[in-house]
A and B are shown apart, each in its own frame.
Chain A
Amino acid sequence: MRSNLATPIALLLFIALICWGTFDIRKSGAGRKDTITLAGSTSVMPFSEKLAEYFMVGYPKFSIDVQGGGSSAGIQAVINRTVGIGMSSRKLKEDEKILHEILICYDGISIIVHPSNPVRDISLEQIRKVYSGKIRNWKELGWIDRNIDAVSREEGSGTRGAFEELVMGKEFIDNGIMVQDSNGSVKEVVATDPYAIGYISLGIVDQKVKALTIDRVVPSVKNIIQHKYGMVRPFLYLTAGEPAGTVKVFIDFVLSREGQNILRKEGLVPIRG
């Protein structure tokens, strides 16, 4: 009997301890720091984290909490006032326009392949045909006779939304195309599969994958600023009403020369050239 009771009691004590611990941290933390919470697009998230890091160095009184969840979830969270700033990597829909938009930068979308792939250039038309399932073989793109393992993003993703708008036009992405649920996993698939092709945010392209030139234009910040590279989408911060208080301090920092320079260094395109 005794041993039967011991376990639940220990468990209760343990839970109580945890609750008390969190409560205690909250209480002591609230007095000292102003917390800003950001949530939304997983494409914007890594850059927001970077910005927050720099911001907290200059403003040690603030604490910034960056969460993912996706563009739509972020927008929803601002509407419900559960977070201070929402992050979106797609334009707002009509019924979401009640929010205040702040354009923080632009991001290019690049087409990536495995580094060992000899194909260097692809045309917009060819990308469209690959993703609508009309080109299925690498032979048609000037390589060996092997099926193309094309990877897309899931329905509802900001990157996919931008890709559909910029590349696909009226055509649908074919049902046979593989789907991964983040920029990171698309990159991972393309980095391990020599026959894969995918699209990801220009900011996270590194030496594990090779970015193709599109109609001979190299995907780069410079070419985006000069309007030569067309596959570009906005990164937005969203607030309920005009930003004020702590939120405004952070947004002003992001839009400042310093903040924009951080974004430029991370491979994004600042709003002022």
Chain B
Amino acid sequence: MVSAFSSLLFLFIIFAFILGEGLPLFYKVGAGKIIFGFTWAPTKGFFGIFPMIISSYMVTLGALIFGAPLALGCATYLSEYASRKMKMFLKPALELLAGIPSVVYGFLGVVYVVPLIREYLGGPGFSILATSVVLGIMILPTIISISFDSLMSVPQTYREASVAMGATKWQTIYKVVLPAAQSGILASFILGMGRAVGETMAVIMVAGNALRIPMSLLDPLRTLTSNIALELAYAAGDHRSALFSTGVVLLIIIMLLNFIANFWVKRKVAG
């Protein structure tokens, strides 16, 4: 009970702190100029973070495009095909994947993914593509474990009924099991997105951190989180508040995502 409330208290403190530090600038400069401004030069009085908001969405989407099919395939295999033994082996392996520190993913991205892209596709290598690939791998464990749980919670009777009607195993999965687990799978995607939006270290290392809205898959970009981490060390005055304002926007985006995810999970319970 006490610990439950202490975590709530911490959440509240963090919330109040970020809002307290970030909101004054919204009043001072104007929310429109921050959220829809194109120029970020905080030491010269420009606080536009629009390109970073767009970039955050782009890499998140990219990570999902890259990671979601892979993760869904893996979850389906785990719940429908894998033998007990295989499951015993794969589940811990996945948990291990979730436990690898993000800086390690970033490092591997810089050493392998970035040069490969630079050599074969052109551009500086630090790009949406590299970031999406790295993030796509990082969100695998989140998506797999949650969609696996929801696939497992589909009653065995559904599968038996479907097979009894003469459907093949694949037809059963495709037409019966996946739709039945749909809401859980969608929720897992959204939580995966939350992880991708919030990821910082690996993104700083492979994204290139340029301030423009990227026009191609090979352009470098900067996300909201990496903006905060990159510049906090040197920031003072309004620049510092601007980074907290970035945090406010990030907080709102992540809350929205979690809210949507919860909504889907609830709908599943209701239906």
Contact = CB atoms under 8 A, between A and B. Distances in A.
A155 B41 contact: yes
Q: How large is the interface on A (under 10, 10 to 19, 20 to 34, 35 or more residues)?
A: 20 to 34
Given A176-B210, A193-B118, A73 B233 contact: yes
Contact of A72 (B211, B219, B222, B236): B236
* Dominant SS among interface residues on chain A: mixed
21 contacts: A71-B234, A73-B233, A73-B234, A154-B230, A155-B40, A155-B234, A155-B235, A156-B43, A156-B231, A172-B41, A172-B44, A175-B39, A175-B51, A177-B210, A179-B208, A179-B210, A179-B222, A181-B204, A181-B209, A181-B229, A189-B126
Interface in B107-140: 110, 114-115, 118, 122-126
A42 B175 CA distance: 58
B268 interface: no
Contacts of B233: 42, 68-70, 72-73, 156, 181
Given A147-B123, A193-B124, A157 B115 contact: no
A147 B123 CA distance: 7
A180 interface: yes
Nearest to A160: B234
Nearest to B122: A147
A107 interface: no
A158 interface: yes
B231 A149 contact: no
A76 interface: yes
A73 B233 CA distance: 6
B124 A155 contact: no
A76 B126 contact: no
Contact of B220 (A154, A178, A195): A178
Contact of B42 (A68, A75, A155): A155
B234 A70 contact: yes
B235 A156 contact: yes
Of B51, B114, B210, which is in contact with the most chain A CB atoms at under 10 Å from its CB? B210
B141 to A, nearest CB: 24
Contacts, number: 91
Interface in A160-180: 161, 172, 174-180
A172 B114 CA distance: 27
Contacts of A196: 124
B234 A157 contact: yes
Of B41, B43, B114, B124, which is in contact with the most chain A CB atoms at under 10 Å from its CB? B124
Contact of A156 (B114, B126, B219, B234): B234
Interface residues of B, number: 33
* Dominant SS among interface residues on chain B: mixed
Interface in A210-264: none
Interface string A59-99: 00000000011111101100000000000000000000000
Contacts of B236: 72, 75-76, 156
Contacts of A71: 234
Interface in A33-73: 42, 68-73
B209 A180 contact: yes
B195 interface: no
A155 B126 contact: no
A178 B209 CA distance: 5
A193 B126 CA distance: 10
A116 interface: no
B231 A154 contact: yes
Of B125, B219, B231, B234, which is in contact with the most chain A CB atoms at under 10 Å from its CB? B234
B203 to A, nearest CB: 12
Given A68-B233, A70-B233, A156-B42, A175 B124 contact: no
B239 A176 contact: no
A68 B234 CA distance: 10
A97 to B, nearest CB: 14
B43 A155 contact: yes
B211 to A, nearest CB: 4
B212 interface: yes
Given A149-B125, A193-B125, 20 more contacts: A70-B234, A71-B234, A72-B234, A147-B122, A155-B42, A155-B231, A155-B235, A156-B42, A157-B234, A177-B210, A177-B211, A178-B124, A178-B208, A178-B209, A178-B210, A179-B208, A179-B211, A181-B204, A181-B231, A189-B126
